[in-house]
Amino acid sequence: MSRVGDQKTPTIPMPSVPAAALWEISLAAYLRRRTDLPSLALKPLGLLDRYGEVAVGPDHMAFDGEDVPWDKAVRVIVRDVVEVVSDAAMAREAEKIRHLLPPVPGRKWVVDHAMALLGEFAAPRLTKARGGDVVSEVVYRGAFGRERTLQAGVFAALVMATWPQVRQSLVTTARANGVDVYGEASQYEAPGVPAPVGHTAIPQDSSDDDPTITLPAQSDPAHDTLGASGASVMPPRADLWTPAEPQSEG
């Protein structure tokens, strides 16, 4: 059975800056193109079609299957990937994948390959002093105008660190829609290096009361069955990898 690292890295078309058409990718879509999947893995992998998703388009963005229209977005927060991805976060991702998949043949294969892929992405970036800027949070207006926070997962963060154009498309598209962008200070700290128009430091007085999307608590890894964490299975949908070419609105 092939390992993730044994496969050739697929060529992925990048989104335009700013986004002119919907571009999206998920961990499941990437694994389909990166590995020779056995038939047993196809069914559980389909349940992860929006897991780890990062999407950017002229009308909305998305992380992990949750869409945020740009006209509802309030601010985008950019951080270094080493602030988003940690050993603890990687462990939680493995547990989250196990909870999302039912106890069917092929689950262990999918989890092993998913974590191998995450580790392959993470290793060369997390050993640097700075691993690269990523969009870590998008604050938007929810019901009754209350602010809510959508956080990027580990895979989405590593996608943006691996292909900076994805982060650039998110940030530039946000600004084009009048959304504030915070946290790109590091690359403009040197004297004489101007910050781009619309650049703002990360606000320090954000409320801790805002509801935030979090990962489920870890369960006993010795039991490879679905736990009672309350995690729900994301609805399967078509292969989540839309290239950047403009599509008709049909």
* Per-position pLDDT tens, the chain of length 250: 334 444 455 678 999 999 999 999 998 888 887 766 666 666 777 778 888 899 999 999 999 999 999 999 999 999 999 888 888 888 888 888 888 887 777 778 778 888 888 888 888 877 766 767 899 999 999 988 899 999 999 999 999 988 999 999 999 999 999 999 999 754 444 333 344 444 444 444 444 333 332 223 333 333 333 233 333 333 334 445 555 555 444 4
β-bridge partners, 149:
139, 212
What ranges do the domains of the chain cover?
A: 17-204
- The answer to whether the CB of 216 falls within 8 A of the CB of 96 is yes
Q: Looking at the whole model, is its pTM more than 0.85?
A: no
What's the DSSP call for residue 105? T
Alpha helices, DSSP H only, in 127-205?
154-162, 164-176
CA–CA distance from 18 to each of 139, 151, 171 (Å)? 19, 21, 8
* Dist CA 140 CA 142 (whole Å): 6
